[in-house]
Amino acid sequence: MFESLSGKFATAFSALRNRGRIAPGDIDEMAAEIRQALLDGDVSLAVAEHFVSTVSARAHEALPTLRQSTNPSQAIFEIVNEELISILGGQARRVRFSKNPPTIIMLAGLQGSGKTTLAGKLSKYFASQGNTPLLVAADLQRPNAVTQLQVVGEQAGVPVFAPEPGNGVGDPVAVAKAGVEFARSKLHNLVIVDTAGRLGVDEALMKEASNIRAAISPDEVIFVVDAMIGQDAVRTAQAFLNGVGFDAVALTKLDGDARGGAALSIAHVTQRPIMFASTGEKLADFDLFYPDRMASRILGMGDIASLAEQAKAAFDTGSAEKFEKKFAEGEDFTLEDFLEQMQAMKKMGSMSKLLGMLPGANSGAMKKQLESFDESEMVRTQAIIQSMTPSERTNPKILNGSRRARIALGSGRSVKEVNTLVDRFSAAQKAMKQLRNGGIPAGLPAGLSGGIPGMPPMPRGGGFKHPLQQGNQKNQKKKSRSGNPAKRAAEEGR
């Protein structure tokens, strides 16, 4: 998502970066480019105008002080970043839990916007946070809507209140009310009410949704909107705001080739925060929405915060501590440890999605590599390690020719592939020893896993360079090229 927007922002900045001194005309030029980028990205005209005029007013105002600054383009970049966060809603907001449970969440939006899918995702997410959600099937209109909710409820492991068959039968207001009562009596602390949409905005739809709202007084009405509908998203949001009213927004289908306009327009136009982002059809394809992280992605800085959170969740504390201890005590990092890490990484989700959170992921070269990233390479690497005996895994030095041939046969890979893995692993192991002894090894891709086939490069703690700082980076050119294609792209693409 946001690839083209990201690319255009990068172009607008690169012109600025190449200026030794920044003149007022340069700011105007950048502003015009950003304006065009936003409009091309389906951002509504009002929002694009507001954004560009705020950014350029602030940049012009800062210009006299910027002239003394050593890195004026960086300062302007900061202004753009801040304003982007503000357009996206500023602070992240979370669901307000009622002091008097159950907390009631009502989902509203057009048919096909992703309400039922989101209901499942929300219920799973909130259950994992220690809540006891109940799903309520109040879409009695759309064919099979009730069954669909029952299916996602089962996947999420969350009970579904569905007293009516739907398909046109039953009163949605009565079901919503009964659902809340049922939740109260069964001590569920959270109720998520799925409602009916229509193909377009119409009177009947608005009336039904506002009747449900009036009957159950939800703590949060969440407007669910498909980010792929572009400019229409803003019109639909406005219609729902007037017709039903809502407290927050959930953006769905951000995994599609959405140009991002909806995300950038809706929070500002409706003055309601975006709370959730849906990025796929599966229950796991779901994120809390953070304006600052989204801005960071759009500006090509990646989303290190989310990546770190996912890593923390995937590597249970036990194994993280074990690795730390091993490292501190000077023990060797073995192939066994590597295998364990790789399995933990798999829990974090698809590698392309993870790599997409790295800075520069939207840049041309990195994107190409991402698209061609071979998830199966990891499976192959794993197969090779799994064909080794425990002693071979802890001490790869004993891997002579006949052992390598046996491993190749056992894993169904070639001896050459086994050799490559062992060589790269040994190099990484050596580099780690250097690292432990206080030196930064030349050319070592950051993180334990760098340079090993099938493993992505992990960013060194916070020390990544923004594309804007490219100029400085040229001087500290890496001594060697990384063996990892994605890492190499990251090195070359910036």
The residues of the shown chain that bind ligand GDP, judged by CB under 6 A, are 109, 111-117, 197, 252-253, 255-256, 278-281, 285
Q: Which range, of 50-58, 132-140, 254-262, 456-464, touches Mg ion by CB under 5 A?
A: 132-140
Smallest separation (angstroms) from ligand GDP to the CB of 38: 23
Pick what 113 binds: ligand GDP, Mg ion, none; C-beta below 5 to 8 Å, kind-dependent.
ligand GDP
Binding residues for Mg ion, rule CB under 5 A, total: 4
Q: Token pair of 335, please?
A: 């192939």
Which of residues 73 and 279 has its CB atom nearest to ligand GDP in the complex? Answer: 279
Which of residues 250 and 408 has its CB atom nearest to ligand GDP in the complex? Answer: 250
Which of residues 113 and 362 has its CB atom nearest to ligand GDP in the complex? Answer: 113
* Residue 226 Ramachandran class (φ > 0 left, ψ -120 to 50 alpha, else beta): beta
Residue 325, SS3 per DSSP: helix
Which of residues 115 and 487 has its CB atom nearest to ligand GDP in the complex? Answer: 115
CB 248 within 8 A of CB 222: yes
Which of residues 80 and 196 has its CB atom nearest to Mg ion in the complex? Answer: 196
CB 108 within 8 A of CB 244: yes
Smallest separation (angstroms) from ligand GDP to the CB of 196: 8
Q: Which range, of 1-9, 145-153, 298-306, 454-462, touches Mg ion by CB under 5 A?
A: 145-153
Smallest separation (angstroms) from ligand GDP to the CB of 442: 43
Smallest separation (angstroms) from ligand GDP to the CB of 49: 29
Those residues whose C-beta lies under 8 Å from the C-beta of residue 220, and which sit 6 or more positions away, are: 95, 96, 103, 104, 105, 106, 247, 248
- Which residues face 249 on adjacent strands? 223, 274
Which of residues 143 and 165 has its CB atom nearest to ligand GDP in the complex? Answer: 143
Smallest separation (angstroms) from ligand GDP to the CB of 250: 9
Report the 10 Å Cβ neighbour count for 244. Answer: 22
Smallest separation (angstroms) from ligand GDP to the CB of 152: 8
Pick what 279 binds: Mg ion, ligand GDP, none; C-beta below 5 to 8 Å, kind-dependent.
ligand GDP
CA atoms within 13 A on the CB side of 392: 16
Pick what 61 binds: ligand GDP, Mg ion, none; C-beta below 5 to 8 Å, kind-dependent.
none
Which of residues 253 and 297 has its CB atom nearest to ligand GDP in the complex? Answer: 253
Which of residues 227 and 490 has its CB atom nearest to Mg ion in the complex? Answer: 227
Pick what 114 binds: Mg ion, ligand GDP, none; C-beta below 5 to 8 Å, kind-dependent.
ligand GDP
CB 286 within 8 A of CB 125: yes
Which of residues 74 and 111 has its CB atom nearest to ligand GDP in the complex? Answer: 111
Whole-angstrom distance, CA of residue 18 vs CA of residue 475: 16
Which of residues 117 and 411 has its CB atom nearest to ligand GDP in the complex? Answer: 117
Pick what 296 binds: Mg ion, ligand GDP, none; C-beta below 5 to 8 Å, kind-dependent.
none
Query: Residue 253 corresponds to which amino acid?
Result: K
Task: Find the residue with minimal CB distance to Mg ion.
Answer: 116
Smallest separation (angstroms) from Mg ion to the CB of 162: 13
Q: Token pair of 346, please?
A: 């798999």
CB 249 within 8 A of CB 258: no
Pick what 281 binds: Mg ion, ligand GDP, none; C-beta below 5 to 8 Å, kind-dependent.
ligand GDP
Residue-by-residue DSSP string for 111-129: TTSSHHHHHHHHHHHHHHT
Encode burial over 177-207: b for 16+ CB neighbours within 10 A, e otherwise.
bbbbebbeeeebbbbbbbbbbbeebeeebbe
Report the 10 Å Cβ neighbour count for 123. Answer: 29
Q: Which residue has the tokens 């890490």?
A: 341
**Strands 274-278 and 286-288, bridge-based pairing:** antiparallel
Residue 341 within binding range of Mg ion, rule CB under 5 A:
no
Pick what 255 binds: ligand GDP, Mg ion, none; C-beta below 5 to 8 Å, kind-dependent.
ligand GDP
Q: Identify which of 289, 248, 285, 243 has the alpha carbon closest to the alpha carbon of residue 270.
A: 248
Pick what 44 binds: ligand GDP, Mg ion, none; C-beta below 5 to 8 Å, kind-dependent.
none
Q: Which range, of 134-142, 315-323, 327-335, 415-423, touches Mg ion by CB under 5 A?
A: 134-142
Whole-angstrom distance, CA of residue 33 vs CA of residue 52: 10
Q: Which range, of 41-49, 78-86, 107-115, 361-369, touches Mg ion by CB under 5 A?
A: 107-115
Work out the burial of residue 284: count CB atoms within 10 Å of its CB; fewer than 13 is exposed, 13-18 middle, 19 or more buried. Answer: exposed
Among 116, 252, 362, 411, binds Mg ion (CB under 5 A): 116
For Mg ion, the binding residues (CB under 5 A) are: 115-116, 139, 145
